[in-house]
Amino acid sequence: MASGIDRTTIRAFDIFAALSDTQFEDVLAAATPKHAAAGEAVFEQGEEARWFFVLVSGRLRVTQVTAEGQQVIVRIVIPGDLFGIAKALQRTDYPGTATALSDSVVLAWPTTRWSGFMSAYPSMAVGAMQTMGDRLQEAHSRLREMATEEVERRVAHTVLRLGNQSGRKEAGGVRIDFPVSKQDIAELSGTTLHTVSRILTAWEAAGLVEGGRQKLLLKNPHRILLIGDGLVPGLL
């Protein structure tokens, strides 16, 4: 383990919480820390999955490109999340590309260690399952929204989800603490950049959000929730 990694932070991650101190040290000793600068890929879709990872700090975006070349965001990775666990998906390659949205530090373990870890440390298996359960619930929420909600409601639910996962309370509201682009929001909501721009412009004019270059501030999350849940009309 290199220096510059805060052990206390890592020890507190859900996935390691139930390990004994000795077990934690064993697991950590097998990890290689890696740095990814903003914009850099940790791994690419289709690449052989030689490593699995835990994000220590920063933010990643996992995207998939369809056969026709259209990109969709699978999810945002936040610190403490397991990712690149192709083995758990019974795959030998990565199903998507993980790109750093801001400077990020990850811990990497060889994929060959996955099964051994899961057998030796059942609490890590339970933690991994919970990670997958969270992702599954998020994917089902997005599917439900795509199938039943008008676009403005979907955008509302998308920015609230980002706020819940990655928001920091400040005086003026909830700041999404990594650079999220309108294109990111469009891909997460299953709509176009043009539509997201129109919605955010209307919301900004009504005092619901503030662009502040790239880090979005949710000034009135309650009203955004009412729009998302269809309890008040949208602004478009």
Residues that bind a second copy (CB under 8 A): 64, 66-68, 70, 72, 74, 88-90, 95, 115, 118-119, 122-123, 125-126, 128-130, 132-137, 139-140, 142-144, 146-148, 187, 190, 229-230
Shortest Cβ 120–a second copy spacing (Å): 8
Rounded to whole angstroms, the maximal C-alpha distance in the chain is 57
Q: How far apart are CA 225 and CA 232, in angstroms?
A: 9
Return the number of the residue (30 or 72) whose C-beta is nearest a second copy. 72
Return the number of the residue (116 or 212) whose C-beta is nearest a second copy. 116
Q: With b meaning 16 or more CB within 10 Å and e meaning fewer, what string describes 148-175?
A: ebebbbbbbbbbbbbbebbbeeeeebbb
Of 121, 133, 124, nearest in space to 16 by CA = 124
Return the number of the residue (35 or 135) whose C-beta is nearest a second copy. 135
- From first CA to last CA, the distance across the chain in angstroms is 52
Shortest Cβ 147–a second copy spacing (Å): 4
Return the number of the residue (175 or 223) whose C-beta is nearest a second copy. 223
Shortest Cβ 233–a second copy spacing (Å): 14
Q: How far apart are CA 49 and CA 52, in angstroms?
A: 7
Shortest Cβ 119–a second copy spacing (Å): 4
Shortest Cβ 142–a second copy spacing (Å): 6
Return the number of the residue (54 or 217) whose C-beta is nearest a second copy. 54
Contacts of 129 (CB under 8 A, 6+ apart): none
